[in-house]
């Protein structure tokens, strides 16, 4: 019924689509929060579109390798990308040799989820943000990240920019090693996504002090926002968006967008995403999604420029 309702609203050119399985490229490793969200969504899209939506993990370079693979795919709607704030926000803001244009090379379908970033400290670290600022005041502190130019690197840099503090950046080989270092108190603070830190915080291995979104996180309403603590403007989150290769027929993009919105409107899926710390956004069509991504790139680029970050991919 859902597929018939979707097709009834679209031009006849879309009626034959999809005619085979759809591949959803996730440019990150299996088992991570982005991968889990993609698999939950693909399961519902399979039911709505009456065609298998198969997740394919293509990892490497902070999402750049999978994004490049999607860019090169045939623009017929049968290959999609589950993009993120890393692949389509931080990467284009920092890396000068990125093999894709995050805006021009893709046809946006819809924004699928937003996850606030969180400021975290070791279990016996600073009691609150004011105490952390005092701890870092001598300029000899440090912070960990998932790697140079990563989303977690830029979010911590923005914290330093808003507080006027200085701290040494220690890049680790991914988010998990950075959080392990934080739990061992090798660094006094780090920024990561709520989806990435919630479980380890619940175990008492780290503590969360605040969120980086402009509004409180629905999954952690007790955490203050950094803006409310005087660090305005501070509004950084990670997010995911469904994209197709540039040149994909607009009627197919429209059908996919309607299918994504139908899936995200299901209370059961929204609840499962909320359990990952993912907030389902208001429906965003292709043009609104394109504008959102362009604005996010500009936001991350401003942080990178202020930090003097302009890198080449390793």
**Could you tell me which residue, 97 or 112, shows the higher pLDDT?**
112
CB 118 within 8 A of CB 199: no
In the prediction, which pLDDT does 87 show?
96
Is the pLDDT assigned to residue 13 strictly greater than 70?
A: no
In the prediction, which pLDDT does 12 show?
46
Helices 175-183, 194-202: inter-axial angle, 10-degree rounding? 40
In the prediction, which pLDDT does 313 show?
75
In the prediction, which pLDDT does 6 show?
56
Indicate the pLDDT class of residue 115, thresholds 50, 70 and 90: very high
In the prediction, which pLDDT does 174 show?
87
Ramachandran bin of 58, using left for φ above 0, alpha for ψ from -120 to 50, beta for the remaining angles: beta
Residue 182 has, within 13 A of its CA and on its CB side, a CA count of 33
Is the pLDDT assigned to residue 305 strictly greater than 90?
A: yes
User: Which CATH fold would you assign to the domain 2-115+238-307?
Assistant: D-Maltodextrin-Binding Protein; domain 2 (3.40.190)
**Average pLDDT over the chain, rounded to an integer:** 93
Q: In terms of Cα–Cα distance, which of 32, 88, 60 is closest to 238?
A: 88
From first CA to last CA, the distance across the chain in angstroms is 48
In the prediction, which pLDDT does 196 show?
85
pLDDT tens-digit readout, 131-146: 999 999 999 999 999 9
Give CA–CA dist 4/227, Å, rounded: 45
In the prediction, which pLDDT does 276 show?
85
pLDDT tens-digit readout, 203-248: 999 999 999 999 999 889 999 999 999 999 999 999 999 999 999 9
Domain boundaries, the chain: 2-115+238-307, 116-229
Give the pLDDT mean for 90-117.
Answer: 95
Judged by DSSP in three states, 185 sits in coil
pLDDT tens-digit readout, 188-213: 999 999 988 988 999 999 999 999 99
pLDDT tens-digit readout, 163-186: 999 999 999 988 889 999 999 999
Give CA–CA dist 171/105, Å, rounded: 29
In the prediction, which pLDDT does 161 show?
97
Give CA–CA dist 145/313, Å, rounded: 16
Indicate the pLDDT class of residue 3, thresholds 50, 70 and 90: low
Give the pLDDT mean for 66-92.
Answer: 97
CA 227 to chain centroid: 20
In the prediction, which pLDDT does 195 show?
84
CATH match for 116-229 among 3.30.56.10, 3.40.50.9100, 3.40.190.10, 3.40.50.300: 3.40.190.10
């Amino acid at each position: 019924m859902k597929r018939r309702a979707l097709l009834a609203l679209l031009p006849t050119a879309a009626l034959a689509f999809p005619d085979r399985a759809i591949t959803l490229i996730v440019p990150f490793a299996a088992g991570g929060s982005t991968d889990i969200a993609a698999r939950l969504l693909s399961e519902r899209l399979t039911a709505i579109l009456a065609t298998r939506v198969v997740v394919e993990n293509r990892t490497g370079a902070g999402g750049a390798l999978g994004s490049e693979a999607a860019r090169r795919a045939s623009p017929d709607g049968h290959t999609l990308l589950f993009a993120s704030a890393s692949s389509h926000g931080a990467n284009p803001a920092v890396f000068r040799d990125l093999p894709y244009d995050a805006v021009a090379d893709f046809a946006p379908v819809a924004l699928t989820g937003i996850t606030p970033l969180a400021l975290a400290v070791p279990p016996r670290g600073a009691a609150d943000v004011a105490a952390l600022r005092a701890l870092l005041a001598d300029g000899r502190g440090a912070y960990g990240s998932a790697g140079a130019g990563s989303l977690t690197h830029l979010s911590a840099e923005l914290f330093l920019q808003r507080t006027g503090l200085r701290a040494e950046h220690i890049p680790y080989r991914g988010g998990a090693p950075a959080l392990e270092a934080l739990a061992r108190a090798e660094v006094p603070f780090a920024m990561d996504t709520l989806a990435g830190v919630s479980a380890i915080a619940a175990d008492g291995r780290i503590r969360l002090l605040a969120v980086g979104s402009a509004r409180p996180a629905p999954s952690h309403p007790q955490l203050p926002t950094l803006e409310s603590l005087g660090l305005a403007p501070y509004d950084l989150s990670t997010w995911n968006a469904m994209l197709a290769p540039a040149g994909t027929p607009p009627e197919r993009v429209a059908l996919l967008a309607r299918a994504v919105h139908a899936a995200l409107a299901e209370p059961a899926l929204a609840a499962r995403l909320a359990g990952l710390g993912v907030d389902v956004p208001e429906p965003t069509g292709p043009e609104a999604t394109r504008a959102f991504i362009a604005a996010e790139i500009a936001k991350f680029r401003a942080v990178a420029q202020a930090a003097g970050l302009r890198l080449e991919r390793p």
